[in-house]
Structure 1
Amino acid sequence: MSTGDLVAALAPSIGVTVLFVIVIRAMVQADRRERRAQARAERERGTDQTRDSRS
């Protein structure tokens, strides 16, 4: 097995892994930004909607 064969065999898995990491990282960052914006909006309104209204 040559180096070229090894690279050709591993390239698809590495590519999918890189794409997966990029997508998950973007989702986590978007969630973090959304939570910050929600907290800021609640502070500006003077409300705290993080508690469950049923309890």
Structure 2
Amino acid sequence: MDEYWVAVIWSLLPTVVVSAIFFFVLRSVIRADRNERRNYARIEAQERAKMGMPPRDADPAVEPSSPASP
């Protein structure tokens, strides 16, 4: 009976290891994207402030999407 459980563990181990690696790689990609977007927004806000432009959220040229009226 012990050989059965050892075989089960050895057969599941590659799947678990690959899944863990995939999880950590995907998590790092998502974090890197989030940090890059945050830094880009910060730099853009600094540049807009240097040029005397309003913040991006207050820019009237950029209209927020509104739900369609019936």
Q: Return the TM-score normalized by structure 2.
A: 0.64
The gaps in structure 1 that reach 5 residues or longer are: none
Query: Which segments of structure 1 move beyond 4 Å, counting only runs of 4 or more?
Result: none
Q: Deviations over 1:3-50 (max 9, x none)?
A: 1110000000110000000000000000000000000000000165xx
Letter in 2 for 1:37: N
Give the paired residue count.
49
Answer yes or no: is 1:13 the counterpart of 2:15. Answer: yes
The gaps in structure 2 that reach 5 residues or longer are: 57-61, 63-70
Largest Rg, 1 or 2: 2
Q: Return the TM-score normalized by structure 1.
A: 0.81
